[in-house]
């Protein structure tokens, strides 16, 4: 039975992954009104239609053309330390940008931009299709660096979370460019504090899977992978000592540093210390 006391057509519960429970918390992202099931869509009172594809409501401009990803590749599986607290608390909680999980974490609702095997909702975190205060937690791993407007995404999470809900976010600091499909912001811990300034008890720490060895290791791995065959050996022999003295302005021309100086332009852009923008005011 939906909010108007009208029994749902049987297909609605059969079709919607998460069924009635999910329908209770879903809202039209355009006007925030409740949604009612149609034959193969959810419709709000103002007539905004959102298709249901393979049982997944699609709150996105792509509509029925939504990508369906039968993954052979499985996403990074979140360590239990990251989500145990969320799974032990009240549900439903949001697993944002979950990618291709092997199983649905207990009590979670997976939201993605395409339909992966366990996706429950397709949507955009900048404009979430959920009622105010309808969720009891959120987990987002390696998602925020891919968002065009992280402060707006944080404000949306605050809107849909019930008071006292837990938020667990892991996001990039010293990571090379890794578009998926876009990579916008690497944040320092100060930047992350600004993104989540409207949350209480903000603790920012380095989780085990994001220790400095992984920052250096990822850069080294990308460099070696993309370098010209002829330069790979010299790069592999480059030491931290040589890099350190380069930074301290000591003249040093080891073969590794010379090779580092001639990586292709796309690799310079993946691993640069910064960018310069030049523009003209229109
Ligand atoms: C690097 S993947 C991380 C996947 C998984 N959480 C992991 O750690 O392996 C980033 C994910 O964020 C999702 N994403 C990007 N922009 C999004 C948006 N605006 N709203 C919701 N999800 C988004 C992408 O579809 C992608 O699956
Ligand atoms: Zn609407």
Residues 227-269: tens digit of each pLDDT: 999 999 999 999 999 999 888 877 678 899 999 999 999 999 9
pLDDT at 180: 79
- Strand stretches in 25-155, DSSP E: 35-37, 41-44, 49-53, 56-57, 93-96, 108-112, 121-122, 135-141
Question: Checking DSSP bridges between strand 135-141 and strand 161-170, what pairing results, if any?
Answer: parallel
Complete edge-to-edge strand list for the sheet that includes strand 161-170: 121-122, 108-112, 93-96, 135-141, 161-170
Q: Is pLDDT above 60 for 7?
A: no
Nearest ligand 1 atom to alpha carbon 116? 27
Residue 4 scores a pLDDT above 60: no
Identify the pLDDT of residue 1: 40
CA 143 to centroid of ligand 1, rounded, Å: 5
pLDDT over 60 at 179, yes or no: yes
Cα(45) to ligand 2 centroid in Å equals 7
For residue 139, give the ligand nearest its CA. 1
% of the chain residues with pLDDT over 90: 79
27 CA from centroid of ligand 2 (Å): 8
| Ligand 2 center–CA 130 separation, angstroms | 12
How much distance in Å is there from the Cα of 181 to the middle of ligand 1?
A: 9
Of 113, 144, 154, 176, the one to substitute when testing ligand 1's pocket (max ligand atoms within 8 A of C-beta) is 113
- Measured CA to CA, the distance from residue 200 to residue 198 in angstroms comes to 7
Q: Is the pLDDT of residue 2 over 50?
A: no
User: Whole-model pTM?
Assistant: 0.92
User: What was the pLDDT predicted at 15?
Assistant: 58
- For residue 25, the model assigns a pLDDT of 96
Inform me whether the pLDDT recorded for 11 exceeds 70.
Answer: no
| Binding pocket residue ranges, ligand 1, CB within 6 Å | 75-76, 96-99, 111-113, 124-126, 141-143, 146-147, 180
3-state SS assignment for residue 177: coil
**Nearest CA-CA partner of 139 in 67, 190, 70, 88:** 88
* Residue that is written with structure tokens 């350190």 in the block: 244
pLDDT value at 72 more than 50: yes
* pLDDT for residue 3 is more than 60: no
Q: What is the mean pLDDT of residues 57-73?
A: 90
Whole-number Å distance between alpha carbons of 111 and 108: 10
């Amino acid at each position: 039975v939906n909010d108007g006391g009208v029994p749902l057509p049987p297909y609605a519960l059969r079709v919607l992954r998460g069924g009635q429970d999910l329908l209770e918390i879903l809202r039209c992202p355009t006007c925030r009104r409740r949604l009612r099931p149609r034959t193969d869509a959810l419709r709000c009172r103002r007539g905004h239609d959102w298709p249901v594809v393979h049982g997944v409501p699609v709150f996105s401009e792509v509509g029925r053309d939504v990508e369906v990803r039968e993954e052979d590749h499985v996403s990074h599986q979140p360590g239990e330390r990251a989500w145990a607290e969320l799974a032990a608390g009240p549900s439903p909680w949001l697993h944002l940008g979950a990618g291709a999980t092997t199983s649905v974490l207990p009590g979670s609702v997976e939201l993605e931009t395409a339909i992966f095997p366990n996706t429950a909702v397709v949507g955009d975190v900048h404009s979430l299709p959920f009622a105010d205060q309808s969720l009891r937690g959120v987990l987002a791993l390696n998602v925020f660096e891919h968002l065009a407007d992280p402060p707006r995404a944080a404000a949306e999470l605050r809107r849909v979370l019930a008071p006292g809900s837990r938020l667990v976010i892991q996001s990039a600091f010293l990571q090379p460019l890794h578009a998926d499909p876009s990579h916008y912001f690497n944040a320092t811990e100060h930047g992350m504090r600004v993104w989540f300034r409207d949350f209480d008890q903000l603790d920012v720490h380095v989780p085990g899977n994001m220790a400095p060895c992984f920052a250096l290791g990822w850069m080294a791995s990308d460099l070696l992978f993309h370098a010209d065959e002829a330069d790979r050996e010299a790069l592999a022999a480059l030491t931290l000592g040589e890099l350190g003295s380069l930074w301290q302005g000591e003249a040093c021309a080891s073969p590794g540093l010379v090779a580092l100086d001639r990586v292709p332009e796309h690799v310079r852009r993946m691993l640069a210390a910064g960018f310069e923008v030049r523009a003209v005011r229109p």
